[in-house]
Each structure stands twice: as C-alpha cells, then as structure tokens.
C-alpha cells in the first residue's frame, strides 16, 4: 500500500463525523500486473453546521482521479441515456435559451450523453471535460469539448471565445469540485444575467436515510442538500429557484438557480428545506447516528457473505461501480468472498477492483458462470439489471443489496 499526500479541504469549521478508513480511488481499477504502489488515502467525512456542508476532510489531488483513462462512461446505462434526453427536452421547452444567440455549457460532459441532444439540433454548446478518453467519445458524437477543469480561468476563456451561457448544466460533477467558492464565482461569471444553473448530484438526504455510504468516495467531495446549495451560491447572487428529487444514482436532487429578479421561486424550495430541517440535516448529531448505521451495515455485509461462503456458495457481484469500492474496502470484502464482478464498461473489463482486487469480467460471464448469489454493486440500477437478468432469479439465483440495509432482494 502506498499513501501520498492529500489536499486538506479548507474554509469550513468541520467536525469529523464518519471515518471510512484508508481507501483507494473509487474508479482506480488496476491492471492485474500493476497492483504495487496502489494509492490509498484516509476517507473521512466532516460536517459544518454553519455552511451545512457535508464533505470529505481530505481529498486526493483531482489529477489523480480525472485523467485520460478515467473509467466511468455515462452512456453505459440505458436509464441514464433516457434521463439526459429528458433533461435536454426540459431545458429546450423551459424557454431558457436565447432564440438569437443560444449557448449551453456543460461542466463534466463525460461521453456527451446530454450535450449531443443540443449538437444534433445545431445549438451552440460546449462541454468542459478534463478526462481525455471520455472527451474523445463525446467529440466522436459531434459534441464540442474544452478539455480542461472548470475554474475561473476556464470560465473567462469560454466567455471570451463563445460569450456568456443561457444554461450551465452539470450532472454528478459539482460534488466533485473541491474549490466550491471559486466554482460559484466561475459560474456567475459565465452565466448571462437571466441564465440558469441546473445541476444534479447524489442527495445527502437519501444517503442519510438509506445509509448508502457508498456515495462517499474520493470523487464526491461534497454531498449536497438544498440548504447547503442555497448557502454556497448566495455570495455570488444566485438563488435556488427550484429543486427536484430524482431517483438517479439511488437518490439525487436537481437544483436550479438563477438571479433573484429574473425568476420566481418554486414551492419545492421552502418545502424541501423544511423537510431537511426535520430530518436534522443541519445538525452534527444526525451524522453521528448515521455513522453508527454505516458501521452496522458494513458488519452485516461481511457476516452475510462470510456465512454464505462457509456454506460453499458461489458469490459474484454485478456492477463494478466506483461506489462499491467504498463498500468492499470498508466492510473488508475481497476476492476470498466474491469471485468476480461483472460489468458492461469495456475499460473496466480485465482489471481488478480498487483495493480489494476482485477481477472484473464481462456481463456474459455472469450468464456462463452464474453464481448462487450476486451482490448488487450497482444497486441504483436495480430495476434495469434485474429485468435484464430475470433468468438468474428464475433459476434460483438470489440478489443481495446493502441499501437500505443488508438483505436478499426477494
């Protein structure tokens, strides 16, 4: 194991609320012959009552995480393809785009799953994406990409070259950006006066409710709530005008922000904030209770898989998600308990899972070498995966999920 320095996240008065031990990068899939010097860092979460932000105490250098071999491809899920087609439709219908000079920007455009709907319609757009491999895929779909991190300098560069944006979108990206204050400034700089920021990320309220601690890994610096988002953007004059709870990634929230005089505030904003206060998302003690449930979940998973193994069951996992990296490493589930993880992402196949080194195989292997029991690493895609693999349950196979508690999905 090798440990290299991490960035201490600053600017907040954080109380340590959850310690998930030393963890590898969630997406740090390894070649079988290069497991030496694997990168590990302390995965710890803090909560700041003032800003209401739940965040990592320390994070690896983003260049360790978002590089040309970045393994996550958005378009591997049909559900997500529909999700982004719907979001593009919503943006087009909402009348956010200037009819004379429309311009849509996406932060972290991945493989172009969202922007290609604008590209296909000839609408000026730009993705800002630091990971070269996924940017290549987006460009091959006709999506324009600036291969860089989004910050004040790149916001200014985009504005100089293309003008200000009507819509800035980001999906599962904002929570990755450590310097959230600079990001808010950069968004404000790039947005037209009547423009909107629409972003969605895994929702803290769901994570706490479901003890879905697998949402916590190196890339997710923050887990947002409506309360914390309102606080972050207040200093740059952007207010929350709508929130929408989404089923994606096991429970996400879509936040829409704009400048106060330009938009009305939907009822969903005060309603959601009131519900968050009831849930205690503004209090440190809530997260102490959450930490106890997380510890129990990890113990339960280890014990269940261990018991099944002792009975001689073949156990596999479905979906080599970055999320499940936290689960396997925290609950000490490795290749002695899980034979393989199947996944449909070409760049993950043939690799080993981060930290615990379980082999990743193609989905076809799940059919050819079906286990008795399968841990649903991609539990957030449960309906899609179960409906495509009905034969598994029909032939006596059983799924296990750890959310909201460790159990068989019967």
SS3 291: helix
Q: For residue 105, list its beta bridge partners.
A: 126, 168
353 near ligand TMP (CB under 6 A): no
Candidates 27-35, 108-116, 155-163, 343-351: pick the segment binding ligand TMP (CB under 6 A): 343-351
List 57, 232, 378, 403, residue binding ligand TMP (CB under 6 A): 378
| Nearest-approach distance from CB 265 to ligand TMP, in angstroms | 31
| Nearest-approach distance from CB 172 to ligand TMP, in angstroms | 8
List 58, 300, 384, 393, residue binding ligand TMP (CB under 6 A): 384
Nearer to ligand TMP by Cβ, of 46 and 354: the residue is 354
Nearer to ligand TMP by Cβ, of 14 and 403: the residue is 403
* Cα 257 from Cα 243, distance rounded (Å): 9
* Cα 166 from Cα 286, distance rounded (Å): 38
206 near ligand TMP (CB under 6 A): no
Nearer to ligand TMP by Cβ, of 321 and 401: the residue is 321
| Nearest-approach distance from CB 186 to ligand TMP, in angstroms | 26
* Cα 305 from Cα 369, distance rounded (Å): 18
Residues in region 75-114 near ligand TMP by CB under 6 A: 76-77
Nearer to ligand TMP by Cβ, of 179 and 326: the residue is 326
For 164-183, the DSSP string reads: -EEEEEEES-GGG-S-HHHH
| Nearest-approach distance from CB 322 to ligand TMP, in angstroms | 6
Candidates 38-46, 147-155, 218-226, 313-321: pick the segment binding ligand TMP (CB under 6 A): 313-321
* Cα 27 from Cα 23, distance rounded (Å): 11
Q: Which helix (H) or strand (E) holds 65?
A: helix 62-65
Residues in region 161-180 near ligand TMP by CB under 6 A: none
* Cα 158 from Cα 151, distance rounded (Å): 11
List 6, 59, 110, 321, residue binding ligand TMP (CB under 6 A): 321
List 380, 392, 400, 406, residue binding ligand TMP (CB under 6 A): 380
What does the chain come to in residues? Answer: 410
Question: Which residue's entry shows tokens 């739940």?
Answer: 54
Q: For residue 13, list its beta bridge partners.
A: none
CB 6 within 8 A of CB 59: yes
Q: Is the four-CA dihedral 177, 182, 184, 185 of positive or negative sign? A: negative
Q: For residue 375, list its beta bridge partners.
A: 317, 400
Nearer to ligand TMP by Cβ, of 127 and 377: the residue is 377
Candidates 110-118, 189-197, 251-259, 337-345: pick the segment binding ligand TMP (CB under 6 A): 337-345
| Sequence-separated (6 or more) residues with CB below 8 Å from residue 270 | none
| Sequence-separated (6 or more) residues with CB below 8 Å from residue 222 | 53, 54, 55, 56, 174, 175, 180, 201, 228
Question: Which residue's entry shows tokens 């990755």?
Answer: 176
CB-based closest residue to ligand TMP: 319
Candidates 39-47, 179-187, 195-203, 339-347: pick the segment binding ligand TMP (CB under 6 A): 339-347
Residue 274 φ/ψ, nearest 5 degrees:
-65, -40
List 25, 128, 158, 385, residue binding ligand TMP (CB under 6 A): 385
344 near ligand TMP (CB under 6 A): yes
Candidates 61-69, 83-91, 296-304, 318-326: pick the segment binding ligand TMP (CB under 6 A): 318-326
Positions in the binding site for ligand TMP (CB under 6 A):
76-77, 319-323, 343-345, 363, 378, 380-381, 384-385, 388
């Amino acid at each position: 194991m090798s440990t290299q320095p991490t960035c201490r996240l600053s600017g907040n008065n954080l109380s340590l609320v959850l310690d998930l031990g030393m963890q590898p990068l969630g997406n740090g899939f390894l070649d079988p012959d290069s497991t030496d010097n694997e990168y590990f860092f302390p995965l710890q979460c803090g909560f700041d009552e003032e800003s209401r932000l739940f965040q990592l105490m320390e994070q690896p250098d983003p260049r360790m995480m978002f590089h040309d071999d970045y393994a996550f491809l958005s378009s591997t899920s049909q559900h997500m393809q529909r999700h982004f087609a719907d979001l593009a439709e919503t943006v087009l219908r909402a009348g956010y785009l200037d009819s004379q000079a429309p311009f849509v920007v996406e932060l972290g455009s991945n493989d172009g799953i969202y922007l290609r709907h604008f590209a296909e319609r000839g609408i000026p757009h730009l993705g800002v994406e630091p990971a070269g491999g996924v940017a290549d895929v987006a460009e091959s779909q006709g999506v324009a990409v600036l291969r860089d991190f989004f910050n004040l300098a790149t916001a200014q560069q985009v504005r100089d070259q293309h003008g200000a944006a009507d819509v800035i979108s980001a999906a599962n990206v904002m929570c990755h950006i450590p310097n959230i204050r600079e990001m808010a400034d950069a968004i404000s700089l790039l947005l037209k006066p009547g423009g909107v920021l629409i972003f969605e990320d895994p929702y803290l309220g769901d994570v706490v409710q479901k003890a879905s601690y697998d949402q916590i890994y190196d890339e997710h610096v923050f887990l947002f709530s409506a309360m914390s988002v309102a606080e972050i953007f207040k200093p740059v004059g952007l207010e929350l005008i709508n929130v929408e709870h989404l089923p994606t990634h096991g429970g996400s929230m879509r936040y829409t922000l704009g400048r106060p005089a330009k938009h009305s505030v939907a009822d969903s904003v005060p309603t959601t904030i009131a519900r968050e206060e009831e849930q205690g998302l503004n209090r440190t003690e809530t997260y102490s209770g959450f930490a106890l449930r997380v510890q129990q979940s990890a113990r339960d998973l280890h014990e269940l898989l261990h018991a099944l193994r002792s009975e001689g069951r073949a156990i596999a996992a479905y979906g080599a998600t970055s999320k499940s990296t936290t689960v396997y490493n925290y609950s000490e589930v490795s290749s002695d308990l899980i034979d393989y993880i199947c996944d449909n992402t070409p760049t993950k196949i043939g690799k080993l899972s981060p930290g615990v080194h379980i082999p990743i195989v193609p989905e076809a292997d799940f059919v050819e070498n079906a286990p008795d029991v399968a841990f649903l690493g991609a539990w957030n895609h449960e309906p899609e995966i179960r409906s495509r693999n009905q034969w598994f349950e029909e032939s006596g196979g059983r799924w296990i999920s750890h959310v909201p508690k460790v159990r068989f999905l019967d």
